[in-house]
Amino acid sequence: MRELALNILDITENSVSAGAHLIEIDVLADFAKDEMAIRIRDDGCGMDEQMLATVCDPFTTTRTTRKVGMGLPLFKFSAESAGGIFSIRSEKGKGTEVVATYRIGHVDRMPLGDFGGVVLQLVTMNPQVDFVFTAQSGETTGKLDTRELREILGEDIPLGAPEVRSFLREYIQENLVDIFGGRL
């Protein structure tokens, strides 16, 4: 993993397979304090305390094909190697929240990468899930809520339709450039 955006994609896939209906993803940057935070919160099945205690161990996984699961360990590593803190909270049946913080100027902080592309992919490829994305930098905040998009489009046009996709790509990209201006 060379981009934080890819970590976000990966962790969010966990939320999707946890059966979440609503997933909130925040990328919050404070350039004055040299801090940024990534938060992913879902209303999926959550996990019990025993699972939570070992979930950041690469040898803990829910998959059946093999015994290693690198998603959360890699995300944790990305934060802790860049002067940040990683935390995960979860409650069985309620959902899970993962937060990673970073020092923006830390030499080992991975670039955010193609976050716009990841947002587009999540929105258009998961018809059964709603997303709320928040991107914040100082005073500027941008929000994308798929429930709002679905309301505009109506029931017969999916978010993944090619025409909608190309609109969303530009819409997301323009707003992200406006908020972060390529500084992450």
Binding letters toward other proteins, positions 73-112, x by CB under 8 A = -x--------------------------------------
Q: How far apart are CA 164 and CA 22, in angstroms?
A: 21
Stretch that binds other proteins, among 20-28, 88-96, 103-111, 115-123 (CB under 8 A): 115-123
Q: Is 150 among the residues that bind other proteins (CB under 8 A)?
A: no
* CB of 168 closer than 8 Å to CB of 124: yes
Compute CA distances 31 → 22, 88, 161, whole Å: 29, 24, 37
User: Tokens in use for 22?
Assistant: 């609503």
Least distance from C-beta 33 to other proteins, angstroms?
Answer: 28
- Candidates 23-31, 42-50, 66-74, 101-109; binding stretch for other proteins (CB under 8 A): 66-74
- Contacts made by residues 55-61, CB under 8 angstroms, sequence distance 24+: 55/88, 56/86, 56/88
Instruction: By CB under 8 A, tell whether 175 contacts other proteins.
Output: yes
Q: CA 87, 78, 10, 178 torsion: positive or negative?
A: positive
How many residues sit close enough to other proteins to count as binding (CB under 8 A)?
38
**Binding residues for other proteins (CB under 8 A):** 1, 6, 9-10, 13, 17, 63, 65-66, 69-71, 74, 114, 117-118, 121, 124-125, 148-149, 152-154, 156-157, 161-167, 170-171, 174-175, 178
